[in-house]
Amino acid sequence: MTSAVSPPRFDVTYQGQPGAFSEDAAFDFVPRDARLLPSRTLQDAFQAVARGEAAYAIVPVENTLAGPIDETYELLSRNDLAIVDETVQPICHCLIAPKGSQPADVRRVLSHPIALAQCAGFLRSHPEWEPVPAFDTAGAVELVLREGVSGDAAIGSARSAAVYGGEILMEGIQDHPENYTRFVLLSADPKRGTPRPANGALKTSLSFRVRDAARRESGVLRPFVECGIPLANVLSRPLGGPDAESLYHLDFIGSVESEAVQKALERIRRGATCMKILGTYPLRVASIREVIRPAR
């Protein structure tokens, strides 16, 4: 008698509480029977996958208004998780308060500092409101609705209002409509990805360090240009210290298995103090600046 084969686990952890934008992004990947597991911090999400408590983590890497999420890139450099897919989500902020509230009742507005910054112009138009930083957007919504303090409101997603039973007083209050966040799906197994698009196009992410002297003496990115490899995203920052190094994070179009990419990476390794391939995964959007919603 043979035992039934268990289906593969598809439980996904994300930073924040139910109703968070990261949870919204997870719905681009998970089947209906998947478990969504909230983590308090980004580091907690990484560790949950590393310890086998979750099969995947969904984390933000960059936003069209706020730029790169430095903490995510730092965690990618320090952990052995692989990027296996990506998605881009529109970020629409709402002003949320307990049922029956009116905008004239508001005195304090709670939310994550980035959300407050993305709605700074809107908040300045209401100088009578006090912005109050909170740990995350959905957490701020949950707190405001649970405690029911008169005059308190929160900035969060429309779904967080539905999750916690709040009233949307105003919708689309972010200062710029082009507010999108790119998220990546992480796994401890680089081969444990999602179905690849029909066109087979792939993207690869990597990080490497170079000494500043080497960076000045040669074009760090020249191997990619000379090998005809399109770069989708380039981030760099100085690390300082006695070695005076700079850290680069790159996204390029192509697979590490291609001959041209192998040639470019070999040339990069000659001048790098270390290099780490962060993952090869389906190309959903060439660049977040194109603001293309993935087709699924």
Active-site annotation, residues: 181, 183
- Residue 236: helix, strand or coil by DSSP? strand
Q: What residue spans of 53-157 are helical by DSSP H?
A: 70-78, 113-118, 120-124, 137-147
Beta strand spans in 134-262 (E): 152-156, 167-171, 180-187, 202-211, 231-240, 245-253
Q: Which helix (H) or strand (E) holds 226?
A: helix 222-226
The owner of tokens 């962060």 is 278
> Is 189 within 8 Å of 281 (Cβ atoms)?
no
Dihedral sign, Cα of residue 164, residue 64, residue 184, residue 115: negative
If 0-12 CB within 10 Å is exposed, 13-18 middle and 19+ buried, where does residue 110 land?
buried
